[in-house]
Amino acid sequence: MVQKSEKIWFDGKLVPWGEANVHVLTHTLHYGAGVFEGIRAYECADGTSAVFRLQEHIVRLHDSAHILNMTIPFDVDELVDACVETLKANKLKAGYLRPLVFIGDGVMGVHPGKNPIRVAIATWPWGAYLGEEALDKGIRVKTSTFARHHVNVMMTKAKVCGNYVNSVLAKTEAVADGYDEALMLDTMGFVSEASGENIFIVRDDQIKTTPLTSVLPGITRDSIITLARELGYEVVEQIFTRDELYIADEAFFSGTAAEITPIREVDRRVIGEGHAGPVAKLLQREFFKVVKGENQDYAHWLHPYTV
């Protein structure tokens, strides 16, 4: 269950959590045309707080809206400030942020007409998305029977609400079959991503990740590529097959919620040693140093605030 906070930022005002409501004829509720972001704030090693790559997330939110031909009634700076305002209002030194842009009620039918564009930002405490143990032991993954979207079926560069029906189907299937997460292939049969995470594999000290074709351009994905190259690893953005994943030395997912989560098994095949490998562990350590303010080379990725 989501742990309730006191306030939600809604159309420019902070309102009590229980009053952040919409009408049942809200257009996005029926047709899925909305966009959102997932963002994390961390308590830093020195006791201060910071949001990780907040500006980039809000820029991506605007990009997603633009792809859907939606105009957000608040600019990037206003939404950055609103995110921080919401964290402070809820006295959260660390937590998860969910900005959501959606089409309100008015006309019904596929075309939204002049229905209002509404914006909400919720924040709440949230630990490891796939479980604390998963960060060390890794998770079990099943290749989904559902393919990831084709680039001309859904807009894969936008974080669109309706896109995630595909993810819900895949994740529900995987969990029902006893797995932790679903691996999704693209429409050509190559590895795409998970239900809500990008994927990396390691083989002979080379790190490979799916190129930005059918996948969402993950901000954590970009951070890992940057960190790995700084650490001296060769990182290749290249398509790869499911059996290439099976024989990888290591594999792991990345995402705002998942952070860096190792994969210990795919389709009942053990990956590497069956737990977090040395590359994943090193990247985890370096990533958490960054988000906790212990690596000043990446201080520009942090948006500090005080509760």
- Is residue 159 part of the annotated active site? The answer reads yes
Separation between Cα atoms, residue 40 and residue 51, nearest integer Å? 6
Structure token pair of residue 22: 């919409």
- The Cα-based distances of 234 to 217, 227, 250 in angstroms read 19, 11, 15
Q: Are 115 and 27 in contact (CB under 8 A)?
A: yes
Structure token pair of residue 43: 């308590």
Amino acid identity of 176?
A: A
Among the residues of the chain, which ranges form H helices?
A: 27-31, 54-67, 76-89, 134-137, 164-176, 219-230, 242-246, 278-291
Which residues contact residue 134 at a Cβ distance below 8 angstroms, ignoring those fewer than 6 apart? 128, 180, 261, 262
Q: Are 304 and 48 in contact (CB under 8 A)?
A: yes
Separation between Cα atoms, residue 50 and residue 41, nearest integer Å? 6
Q: What sign has the CA pseudo-torsion 171, 63, 80, 27?
A: negative
| Tally of CA atoms within 13 A in the half-sphere of 75 that contains its CB | 1
Q: Are 130 and 180 in contact (CB under 8 A)?
A: yes
Burial class of residue 105 (count of CB atoms within 10 Å of its CB; 0-12, 13-18, 19+): middle
- Of 7, 159, 171, 292, catalytic: 159
Separation between Cα atoms, residue 47 and residue 160, nearest integer Å? 35
Residues catalogued as catalytic? 159
